[in-house]
Structure 1
Amino acid sequence: MKALIFAAGLGERMRPLTLHTPKPLLSVGGKRLIEWHLDKLAALGVDEVVVNTSWLAEQFPATLGDGARWGLRLRYSYEGATPLETGGGMLHALSLLQEDAAADAPFLVANGDIWTDYDFAALPRALDGDAHLLLVDNPVQHPHGDFHLGDDGRIGNEGAAKLTYSGIGLYRASLFERWREIAGDAAGARLDPPRFSIVPLLRQAADAGRLSGSHHRGRWTDVGTPERLQRLDAALIAAAHG
């Protein structure tokens, strides 16, 4: 299995920390955020990881190399000076994710600016539909959530109680079969390369019954501000020292 780590964001809310360091390369608990993911992906048996880059892109290969220290093959999908957002970024990386793989082979996706105690091995190895999303309890900064998770494991756009998408999931390229039609209203979708959010594609897949999910009740942090980074760092250091 292959994996994609989103690492192209500008990290504007994290400034001044991200003026000279991309957010996924910031450290918490003595390890860079992206390295927490790489450790888990290596343990899972993933053999190739694509890292999409834009802001301070040169720092990723300089810091992480080719992935040999994790027993992984790291490849970099450079998006140019302006990030292509989640949908455009994944579309741009598809050629690498599908190289030497079956057209319908699922691949794991993780945002590079989150931390969690979730075991990636708990994700399904096979996929019925276009994507399987890991959902978490709504954080303070996102109280209304994103999706409803039914008792049957299907994700819907409507429901009394919604959960937040964690930024971790299993995807197939089939999610993009109608991307031009679905994302066509976005101005960036008409650019070359296109720039658009993946959210409309996920919502369409949910309406079509092609989106499944699971609920992680453990620890998860969207490291979106310096304050959250500091709190997480202190908690991980405290836990490491008993």
Structure 2
Amino acid sequence: MSEAILLVGGKGTRLRPLTSHTPKPLLEVAGVPFLTHQLRRAAAAGVTRIVLATSYLAELFEDEYGDGSELGLRLEYVTETEPLGTGGAIRNAAGRLTCGPDEPVLVFNGDILSGVDIAALREGHRAAGADVTLHLTRVEDPRAFGLVPTDDEGRVLAFLEKPETPEQIVTDQINAGCYVFTRAVIDRIPAGRVVSVERETFPELLVSGALVRGVVDDTYWRDLGTPAAFIEGSADLVLGAVDSPAVPGDTGEALVLPGASVGQGAVLCAGTVIGSDAVVEDGAVVEASVVLAGARIATGSVVRNSVVGRGARIGGHCTVDSAVIGDGADVAAGNELPPGLRIGCGVRLPAEGIRVSAGRTPCSELPRAVHV
């Protein structure tokens, strides 16, 4: 038996309004909840039992997956009543593990899309006799991340805060949000309080002389915590830039789910997803976007690099670029939305209420619950 912990308790505030009623890991990415991609990849790597560390809208996870049998897994659910941080959440979930103290336990963050070989990470940890193994990835600009330098043998040397000056950038390696813990190490994390693995657990392990390994892997990696990254990750799965056994169809320019309707002359491209029962009318263009279930894109509209929420409507001859349209929102005909706009769930924009060609609309003049 191979066990894992999946951290899925975050509120996903950077993705609002999409996460107003749906936890971030349950948002649809390439046609299925993002968490399904992670669960299926874990199962394919030989994981048989997973403890989900939940918090925000916790009941929706069990509603979606039940006991996990349909995925070939055994799922357990542990809910935090108060936020405990990454380390605290791991320790809280560990009470449902069944493995012995010397066994490896995989731990995943619930918003990372990655092509890392999970089985190889686990087996390398076991072979090295490590206390913790971290998946590390390289980024072009590491200033937004904590840095994780390693020696020539892969031993982690330090966990450094986000660099503030060029001189502090000692490596381009960052924590990629996937770990293997020896079970006994998890059991030593303090219970019942907030603990950060990055700021407390891992540095304390280094001080104690524990073997903390860093495995640098240059396969696909993306944090889906922002709207732009969420859209890009979905498109990459549809286009086949990263593999997932959970994608419900062949890879290509677009994925159209059962029940969706696409009119004559409509153009779908660049990894677009059209959700079940959604409608794209004649002559509309949808490029690199996620159109969720029951949404409608009317004739002549152009939607690029955007998310259109469940049951939302884009009226005729609108231009929507790099926007997030909340569930049930209604954008009436003729609107040209400025890049970066977020429209709250259920909000209605009147016909031609926003015209980019006439100049950027001041935030004070936008309808309530519409945010740039």
- TM-score by length of structure 2 reads 0.57
Secondary structure at the aligned position of 1:37 is classed as: helix
Secondary structure at the aligned position of 1:5 is classed as: strand
Matches within 5 A, 1:42-121: 42-80=43-81, 82-97=82-97, 99=98, 101-121=99-119
| Residue 140 to residue 12, structure 1, CA distance change in 2 (3 Å) | farther
* 1:123-158 Cα deviation digits (max 9, x unpaired): 132152320000001264755542112210111117
Corresponding position of 2:252: 241
Answer 1 or 2: higher relative contact order, Cα 8 Å, separation at least 6: 1
Moved over 6 A (4+): none
Q: Distance in 2 between matches of 1:35 and 1:139?
A: 29
Q: Distance in 1 between matches of 2:119 and 2:135?
A: 12
Corresponding position of 2:22: 21
1:221 offset after TM fit, Å? 0.5
Greater helix percent: which structure?
1
Q: Distance in 1 between matches of 2:35 and 2:111?
A: 7
Corresponding position of 2:329: none
Q: Distance in 2 between matches of 1:206 and 1:129?
A: 12
Q: Distance in 2 between matches of 1:79 and 1:136?
A: 29
Corresponding position of 1:153: 154
Secondary structure at the aligned position of 2:19 is classed as: helix
The two structures, once aligned, show a CA RMSD in angstroms of 2.1
Q: Distance in 1 between matches of 2:87 and 2:74?
A: 23
Q: Distance in 1 between matches of 2:153 and 2:140?
A: 24
Tell whether the 8 Å contact from 2:104 to 2:122 is kept in structure 1 after alignment. no
Tell whether the 8 Å contact from 1:146 to 1:165 is kept in structure 2 after alignment. yes
Secondary structure at the aligned position of 2:4 is classed as: strand
Corresponding position of 1:168: 178
Tell whether the 8 Å contact from 2:155 to 2:212 is kept in structure 1 after alignment. yes
Q: Distance in 1 between matches of 2:20 and 2:102?
A: 39
Q: Distance in 2 between matches of 1:142 and 1:62?
A: 39
Q: Distance in 2 between matches of 1:44 and 1:25?
A: 21
1:52 offset after TM fit, Å? 0.5
Matched AA of 1:241:
G
Aligned residues: 228
Query: Which shows bigger deviation, 56-65 or 195-204?
Result: 195-204
Matched AA of 1:169:
Y
Q: Distance in 2 between matches of 1:117 and 1:14?
A: 23
Matched AA of 1:196:
V
Tell whether the 8 Å contact from 1:110 to 1:167 is kept in structure 2 after alignment. yes
Matched AA of 2:78:
S
Matched AA of 2:147:
D
- TM-score by length of structure 1 reads 0.86
Greater radius of gyration (CA): 2
Q: Distance in 1 between matches of 2:142 and 2:22?
A: 24
Query: Structure 1 unaligned runs (5+)?
Result: 181-188
Secondary structure at the aligned position of 1:86 is classed as: helix
Tell whether the 8 Å contact from 1:138 to 1:144 is kept in structure 2 after alignment. no
Q: Distance in 2 between matches of 1:12 and 1:141?
A: 22
Corresponding position of 1:130: 131
* 1:197-234 Cα deviation digits (max 9, x unpaired): 11211122234242012111011111111121012222
Secondary structure at the aligned position of 1:134 is classed as: strand
